[in-house]
Amino acid sequence: MAKEKFKYSQIAIKEVAILAQMCVCYSAMIWGVIALFEKELVSIAYILLGLGLLMISYNNYKTFKRKYLSVVYSVSGVLALLIAIKLLI
């Protein structure tokens, strides 16, 4: 019984992580289109892009077991966040 409950909670965490990834990626796309017209909002698009890439990295590592591609997404996400910070300063 306890083993089934643990397995169910892990599946729920994976589903929530994928749902959060979809929401952040969709909002990054929307803010990216808005940023084409309003140049002041590019930093928000970069923040969402960085968070989306970090979530993709997490889901690749935990859900899909693609460990080496997770490193590429993690580095890209951190770089996008650093660019966003630089744009804000």
**pLDDT in tens for each of the 89 residues of the chain?**
556 666 677 778 788 888 999 999 999 999 999 999 988 889 999 999 999 999 999 888 888 787 788 899 999 999 999 999 998 88
Tokens of 74: 């993690």
In the DSSP assignment, the letter for residue 40 is: G
Q: Which domain holds residue 7?
A: 2-88
- Burial class of residue 37, CB neighbours in 10 A (0-12, 13-18, 19+): exposed
- Burial class of residue 83, CB neighbours in 10 A (0-12, 13-18, 19+): middle
80 in the Ramachandran plot: left (φ > 0), alpha (ψ -120 to 50) or beta? alpha
Task: Tell me how many domains the chain contains.
Answer: 1
